[in-house]
Each structure stands twice: as C-alpha cells, then as structure tokens.
Amino acid sequence: MTEKPSIGESKDNATRADIGLVCALPLELSEFLGRCKKVKTYTGGRFTFRGGLYGKIRIAVVESGLGPSRAERATVALLDAHQPKWIVSTGFCGALIPSLKIGEIVVANEVTNLQGDTLKIDVGMTTDPSRGLAVGRTLTVEKMVRKISEKQAFAEKTGAIAVDMETYAIASLCRERKERFLAVRAVSDDLYADLPDEVLSLVGETGAVRIGAVIGALWKRPGSYKDMWHLRENAMLCADRLSKFLDGVVRQLHDSK
C-alpha cells in the first residue's frame, strides 16, 4: 500500500499515514481515492485497505463493511498498521430531518447511540445551507434504517439530524485511545421516501454487493430495476460531493497543530 522507503527514510515511517479514513462501502470513497496518486490496495485482518498520496499528504483508507462492530475492528486495524494523526469516519448517511437533501454534507459535533451514550466533537464549523453543510448530532444504529416513520421516531428520541451504522463506535474508540477524530458524511437518502425493500439484501455485511440478491430482486419485482438505478445515481452524487468536501477537510487536518 505504501511507497518503497527513500534513502534515509525508515520502512516504519513509510507505512505511517497523515490521515486515516474509515468507510463502510468501497463506493463511498471511490471519487476521493480517484484524486489520490500511487493508490495501492491490500487486505489484512479481513478488511480492505487502500492508500496513496493526496498531494503530499499520506492517506490510508480502510473499508470496514456495515455496522458498529466491524467499524471498531477496522479502526483498530488502521491505527495499528498506519498510526494516522487523524481518524475520519466518513461515507453515507440517512437524513432524519426534512431540511437535509440528498448529496448534502453532515459534520457531527455530537455522536450518539440508541442507549443514550453521547460524545461531543469540537469541529469549529457551523451549519451553512448555502454550501449544503449541516453541523449537528448524528445517531449510530446497528441495522439499516429504511422507513420514514423509523427515521422520524429516531429524530424525536435522540435529537439527531442524520443516521449511520458506524460513527459512534469509531468515535468511542478514538476517545478511548486519545486519537483525534472527525465525522463527515454525505446524505444518500432523505426523509421523503422509504428505501425499497430490496436494499436490505443487496449489500452484505462486508459491503460487497450480492449479485445473487440483485438478480433475485429483479426476478421477483422487475420494477425494482428503477429503484436500484435511482439508488446508484444518488450514491454517485454523494461520492462526488463527499470527495469535494473532503478535499478541504484533509488539507486542514493535515495543517492543524
């Protein structure tokens, strides 16, 4: 994954990253990694790692798969292997409030779970609708939230503006290990339509698309093709918006003291 050490540079230093990013699915950071140079891929500890140079900034990405447990283990593996100076939980999220639109960016200043555990994050940002940026509390759950009614109930219970399946676990680990942490997400589904039933079976725990499930969904309900195509379009939009926002985030984190 890393470059061969140059003269005077130890192999240990060459494996270290400036910024470590944790995402669940390969698609989430596909656009961002497309902006990196000398990107290499390897697997370790049942996770996929990718990394390269973003300008002169060393980037290491781990794809955790879905859920808090996998996210925590993947973050441990990333920290142990590459010792990044920052950990960023990133990828897609679901909107819990009507004002959040697909493709908009959510930065967490608090992260919580359904047990009521909450961690504050000093982000130095404020909500800016003109930039499609929302700053607020995010919720981490263990299962995909598909229905509008579920989202509304979670918003009322927790005061969160968005939901995902990994962030709290990563933030808690970073707090425990005294690692610097930030959470940046792009809204992939809003509060105006339920996700189709098939979405629950299309993506496996590891984040890999289940081809058999796709074929089965098309066989059972041919109209699901339109739903899946719409989901893909939303995902591509989110990956692009996330990539552009991470451009500034990565540079600022690298330059911070």
Could you tell me whether strands 86-95 and 105-113 are parallel, antiparallel, or unpaired per DSSP bridges? unpaired
Q: How much is the pLDDT for 23?
A: 96
Per-residue pLDDT, 199: 56
Determine the pLDDT at residue 234.
82
Question: Cα torsion for 250, 184, 195, 28, to the nearest 10°?
Answer: 20
pLDDT at 6: 32
Residue the block writes with tokens 């879905």? 66
pTM for this predicted structure: 0.84
Listed as own residue / partner, the contacts of 227-233 with beta carbons closer than 8 Å and 24 or more positions apart are 227/196, 227/198, 228/196, 228/198, 228/202, 231/195, 231/196, 231/199
CATH architecture of 11-255: 3-Layer(aba) Sandwich (3.40)
Query: 32-52: string of b/e by CB count within 10 Å (b at 16+)?
Result: bbebbeebeeeeeeebbbbbb
pLDDT of residue 146: 83
Show the CA angle centred on residue 78, arms to residues 74 and 80, nearest 5°: 115
- Residue 181: how many CB atoms within 10 A of its CB? 23
Q: How far is CA 170 from CA 6, 10, 75, 179, in A?
A: 33, 29, 7, 10
Tens of pLDDT along the chain (257 residues)? 433 333 333 344 668 999 999 999 898 999 999 999 999 999 987 899 999 999 999 999 999 998 999 999 999 999 999 999 999 999 999 999 999 999 999 999 999 999 999 999 999 899 999 999 999 999 999 988 889 999 999 999 999 999 999 999 999 999 999 999 999 999 998 998 876 664 545 554 554 544 344 344 443 544 554 556 466 788 889 999 999 999 999 999 999 85
- pLDDT of the residue at 187: 96
Q: Where exactly are the structural domains of the chain? A: 11-255
